Amino acid sequence: MSEKQPTVTQATLVKKAAPKSDYKPADVSPQRRVQRTFAVRLWSIRHSRLLEWFYSRFADVFLLLHPLWKGIGYGRVEAPVKFVEKRVKGFMFDCRMCGQCILSSTGMSCPMNCPKQLRNGPCGGVRANGNCEVEPDMPCVWVKAWEGSRNMVHGDNILKVQKPVDQSLRETSAWLRVTAQAAAARETSNNQQNTGASA
Ligand code: SF4
């Protein structure tokens, strides 16, 4: 009777190949990296259409609350809003708080999880199985972004060219920024309409 061979996992291979050293920098263990699962992130991408719908309603509610944010002061509400945003989006999308969210243009796949932080599509190193060349056990963020975008009503937004990341916006609330921008645009359009009506 043949004995069952032990399974050789990617984690075992990475551990074997890792150079032997007493210095183990925190949080960059190749072993730990391959043991990560991306289950919630992948769930969000699979349900991108539902989340697109939800996000749109959520943005409306936030915009409705603009007078409240303005009354208290955007600067004052930023800390608690950011606290919630970081945790919710961190759980759902592995958000890195770049502060300039483009999830609705990337199939709900956060491009900041790409080890090269590419914001306009994949590099040339996607593996044949659709995984990342830097993190072999992670599905390529951009392969998943394309899949997610195909489920969405406004999925073709993925074709828009994104600006480079503005690093000065890191660790700021994208929710508040989008709300303030939408409120300003609404005010401008109302003013223009009023000027047109009174002319
Ligand atoms: S694009 Fe930026 S704000 Fe949006 S989920 Fe990714 S890191 Fe977070």
In a domain, 24, yes or no: no
Task: Tell me if 166 is assigned to some domain.
Answer: yes
Query: How high is the pLDDT of residue 118?
Result: 96
Segment 29-41, tens digit of pLDDT? 555 555 567 999 9
Residues 138/35, Cβ–Cβ less than 8 Å: no
**Domain range for 131:** 38-184
Choice from 97, 114, 173 to test ligand 1 binding pocket (greatest atom count within 8 A of CB): 97
What is the token pair recorded at 2?
């043949």
- Number of neighbouring beta carbons within 10 Å of residue 88: 12
CB-defined site of ligand 1, < 6 Å: 89, 93, 95-98, 101-103, 110-112, 174
Nearest CA to ligand 1 atom 8: 95
Residue 97 falls within a domain, yes or no?
Answer: yes
Report how far residue 199's alpha carbon sits from residue 2's, in angstroms, rounded to the nearest whole number: 91
In a domain, 11, yes or no: no
pTM of the predicted protein model: 0.80
Residue 23 lies in a domain: no
Fill in the DSSP letter of residue 123: -
Domain-located, residue 30: no
Q: Splitting the chain (199 residues) into consecutive groups of 10 residues, what average pLDDT does each group show?
A: 60 71 63 69 97 97 96 96 97 96 97 95 94 91 98 97 94 96 93 78
Question: Is 14 part of a structural domain of the chain?
Answer: no
Specify the DSSP class assigned to residue 70.
Answer: H
Task: Give the bridge partners for 139, in sequence order.
Answer: 131
Q: Does 15 fall in a domain?
A: no
Residue to substitute in 86, 92, 100, 110 for testing ligand 1 pocket (most ligand atoms within 8 angstroms of CB)? 110
Q: CA 93 to CA 187: how far, in whole Å?
A: 32
Residue 9's pLDDT is 64
Amino acid, res. 130: G
Count up the domains in the chain and report the number: 1
Ligand 1 pocket test: pick from 44, 112, 162, 171 the residue with the most ligand atoms within 8 Å of its Cβ. 112
